Amino acid sequence: MPFKDLREFLARLEKEGELQKFDEEVDWNLEAGAISRRALETDLPAPFFEKIKDYPKDRRMVSCVLANLKRIAIAMDMAPDTPMRELIEEYLRRQKKPVKPVTVKTGPCKENVLIGDEVDLLKFPVPVIHEGDGGRYIGTWHLTVTRDLNTGWTNWGMYRHMLHDAKSFGVLAPAPKHLGTMADQKYAPQNLPMPVAVVLGSEPITTFCAATPVPYGVSEADIAGGLRGEPVELVKCETSDLLVPAHSEIVIEGEITPGDERDEGPFGEYTGYRSGLASPKPVIRVKAVTFRNDPIFTFSCPGVPLDDSASVFSVNKSAQFLDELRSKGLPVTGAYLIVEGASHAIAVSVKNAYYGIAGEVAHVIWSARHGLLTPSVIVVEDDVDPCNLQQVFHAMMTKCHPGRGINKIEHATAWPLIPWLSEHERKHRMGARVYYDCTWPVDWDRAELPVRQSFAECYPKEIQEKALRKWRSHGH
């Protein structure tokens, strides 16, 4: 059974040892961020903050909600120890069977309704997540709803939102992200304000789907229904026709007016750095806020070596790339957006490698949606599990020739957040890409290929069993 709301999911996480409650006072200003970062770096449970400095008892916070594989598997209603490769394949199967949402009259997110002058976003414990951030970030784990002006298609995306003051915040969602594309192509040319709703604390799959790379024109709500195996229940906003998940903790309604910009950033990003992109960005002016009683404010704490975006993308983006590669008929056996690589690197395993296959794989990745965020492609043979970083790294170091194996593409479109770009390259979106061919050359004598020396590969079955028995008899 899918989870009805965030609260049900958090209760389950607690039961699984994946949630830690903090009943002592915690400061929204850096301390909650530091506790979260520590959790991410040492694989601790998701922190749930019950008492927040400067705020009354009924304001609570949670972070790192889907920050590891186990939590994602639980959210997908699968066994907590499901291996990565299975999770990716299952995600793909369900994504291909979308289920349309249903509209309901009302829901828990309407327990409190504040409109116009009553709105004060500072009544929520909006955190300063890292020292040096440009401000308090109200949107780092949420879904942002917008609707196409002509077709009525509704998009969900997760885009950072920095709070400016009690009634406004910014957004970073440049094209090809759908919010930016809609605003640029549809609303701005007609000089119309674009209604926006920012939803915090909906059930885990809906939030997960806000960060899933589906094509323009496809509603993430349908994908969420497919993943849940049950439609998402939506309810109408107070000040616009946008629909939002009815069981959400907090819904912020507002609009973006073309040309209305304010300084936003910097912010410690998914790349693991606080770098650049402090600049004027569109502003969302708030018209209403609705929320559950005792609302739970959700956030994520990006950084190195990983965070929620890395874990989420290692599942949904891997699946998308795998699907894309298969649809081109390439003999691909697995694809994995390496969780430690901050979305920058993908490992792909192939069988029956032929001359040039690595290049074909790389170019399919780069032509896929958001492929420009992943400039490094590592192609291995299928004796390597692409989800096993140790194996992938070993193949890179031992099979990839530094001359003919490393293939650089010098002139490519850049995603401006990539940290190795110079300021000039960032500005003009001038990037580069590389693929690592870790397959044995096709013109080497097959009979003389180096033979990998592993327990499974270089001992006869009966010797392996004997060895295992002996280890077991010593208690291992």
Partner 1 sequence: MPQEYETFARDSAHLFGGKEVVMTLRDLTPGRRKYRGINVRGVVSRPPRPGEAVLWIRSVVGNRDPAPCSVRIVEELPETFQGLPYSDFFEAMQRA
Q: Note the residues at the interface with Mn ion (CB under 5 A).
A: 155, 178
Structure tokens at 250: 């907090």
| Whole-number Cα distances in Å, 255 to 142, 197, 208, 239, 363 | 17, 8, 23, 10, 38
Per DSSP, 29 falls in state: B
Q: In angstroms, what is the minimal distance from the CB of 154 to ligand FMN?
A: 10
Contact 191, 66 (CB under 8 A): no
Closest approach of ligand FMN to the CB of residue 160, in Å: 3
412 is a site residue for partner 1 (CB under 8 A)? no
Residue 169 binding ligand FMN, by CB under 6 A? no
Q: How far is the CB of 95 from Mn ion (least distance, A)?
A: 13
Least Å distance between CB 222 and ligand FMN? 13
Binding mask 306-335 for partner 1 (x = CB under 8 A): ------------------------------
Nearer to ligand FMN by Cβ, of 35 and 400: the residue is 35
300 or 391: CB nearest ligand FMN: 300
Those residues with Cβ within 8 angstroms of residue 283's Cβ, 6 or more apart along the chain or in another chain: 164, 168, 169, 170, 171, 256, 257, 260, 261, 262
Do residues 129 and 153 touch, judged by C-beta distance below 8 A? no
Q: Which of 220, 255, 264, 269 is catalytic?
A: 269
Determine, following the binding rule CB under 6 A, whether residue 148 of this chain makes contact with ligand FMN.
no
Sheet containing 296-299: give its strands across.
Answer: 19-26, 46-52, 60-63, 296-299
Residue with smaller CB distance to partner 1, 262 or 326: 262
Site for partner 1 in 116-175 (CB under 8 A): 122-123, 128, 130-136, 163-166, 168, 174-175
Residue with tokens 């790339």: 321
How many residues touch ligand FMN under the rule CB under 6 A: the total is 21
List phi, psi (to 5°) of 379. -110, 120
Outline where DSSP puts E strands in 187-273.
194-200, 233-236, 243-245, 250-264
Q: Of 353-412, which residues contact ligand FMN (CB under 6 A)?
A: 370
> Between residues 108 and 204, which has the closer beta carbon with respect to ligand FMN?
204
Q: Does 297 bind partner 1 (CB under 8 A)?
A: no
Q: Residue 90 touches which of Mn ion, ligand FMN, partner 1, none (CB < 5 to 8 A by kind)?
A: none
Task: Burial-class residue 179 by CB neighbours within 10 Å (0-12, 13-18, 19+).
Answer: buried
Nearer to ligand FMN by Cβ, of 63 and 290: the residue is: 63
Interface map 302-341 toward ligand FMN (x if CB under 6 A): ------xx--x-----------------------------
CB nearer partner 1, residue 114 or residue 188: 188
Location of structure tokens 């440009």: 134
In angstroms, the first-to-last Cα distance of the chain is: 38
Considering only residues 212 through 241, tell me which ones interact with partner 1, judged by CB under 8 A: none
Instruction: Tell me which H or E stretch contains 413.
Output: strand 406-413
- Nearest partner of 382 among 455, 340, 438, 314, judged by Cα: 438
25 near partner 1, judged by CB under 8 A? no
User: Is residue 17 within the footprint of partner 1 (CB under 8 A)?
Assistant: no
* CA–CA gap between residue 269 and residue 222 (Å, rounded): 28
CA separation, residue 155 to residues 136, 210, 247, 317 (Å): 25, 8, 18, 17
Is residue 233 part of the annotated active site? The answer reads: no
Residues within the interface to partner 1 (CB under 8 A) = 29, 54-55, 122-123, 128, 130-136, 163-166, 168, 174-175, 180, 183-184, 187-189, 257-263, 265-266, 273-283, 416, 426-427, 429
Residues labelled as active-site residues: 269
